[in-house]
Amino acid sequence: MFQGFTDETIQFMWGIRFNNRRDWFLQHKPVYLSSFYEPMKELAAEVQQKMLQKYPKLELNVKVTRIYRDARRVKYGGLYKDHLWLVLHAPREDSWTPEPAFYFEARPEEYEIGMGYWCPKPSYMEKYRRKVLREPAKLEKLAHRLNHQKQFVLEGDEYKRPKGEVSDLLKPWFNRKSIGLSCAKPYDEGSPFFGPELVDEIVDAFCWLMPFYRYFKEIELEPDPNE
C-alpha cells in the first residue's frame, strides 16, 4: 500500500542529477528502489484501481517508467533519469498511435499532475485541427473550463506559422504540435507528496481532466488526412 514518498526520495533525485554515473547509482540503488521506484509502482497501482472504479467502462493501462535512459539519449542526459513518472492510457497498437494519457511525474524541483496528447506524426494533429474547425463549440466549452480555474495550464510546442483561422478563445489550442494540461506543485511541508493522500489528489485531478481526455479520444474516429 502506498504510504507516500519521503525526503530521501527528493534527496535521491538531486543526487542522481549531479552524480549521473554508474558507480554512484549502484551505491545508491537500494535507496532508489525503496524510496522511489517501488513507491511509484504502488502509487500507480492504486491510482489505476481508483480510476477504474470511477470509470469502469474505460480501459486504462498503467505504466511506470524506469530510471535507465534510452541508449540513444545517454549522451544528452547521462545514464539515468533524475525523475520518474507513471502514465495511464488506453491500450494501443504501437508507439506510433497517439493516445491521450494521464500522468504523474516526480522530479527534483517539484511534482506534476496532468494529461497530454503527444503525436509522433503531424497528421494526427491535422485530424485534431479538422475536428476543431468542424465542431468549434466542443473545444470552446473545454477552453472555458480551463480558463475558469487556476490549477492547470495549457502547454505544447507551437508552429511558427498559423495553421488556420479560429476564434480568439481557441487560438492558444489550435496551433500546437502537441497538447498538455499540467499542474506543478512544490514539495512544501505537509504536501500530499509525503502521504497516502497523494493517491486521492492525483485521482481528483484526473477526474477533473476527464472531459479533455474524452475529447482527444474522439480524434481516433477522425478520417486520416493522408488517405
* Model pLDDT, residue 97: 66
Angle at the Cα of 185 from the Cα atoms of 138 and 15, rounded to 5 degrees: 130
* Model pLDDT, residue 219: 87
* Model pLDDT, residue 10: 98
- Residue whose C-alpha is closest to residue 80's, from 108, 104, 115: 108
Angle at the Cα of 144 from the Cα atoms of 139 and 150, rounded to 5 degrees: 125
* Model pLDDT, residue 162: 86
Intervals of the chain under pLDDT 50:
none
Q: How many helices (H) and strands (E) does the chain have?
A: 8, 6
Amino acid at 194: F
H or E element at residue 181: strand 179-185
Q: What share of the chain is helix, strand, coil (3-state, %, to 5)?
A: 50, 15, 35
Hey, what domains does the chain have and what are their CATH numbers? 7-221 (3.30.930.20)
CA dist 157 and 203 (Å) reads 27
pLDDT tens digits for range 4-52? 999 999 999 999 999 999 999 999 999 999 999 999 999 999 999 999 9
Instruction: Output the nine-digit C-alpha cell for 182.
Output: 499540467
* Model pLDDT, residue 123: 77
Phi, psi of 138 (to 5 degrees): -65, -50
Neighbours of 188 (CB within 10 A): 10
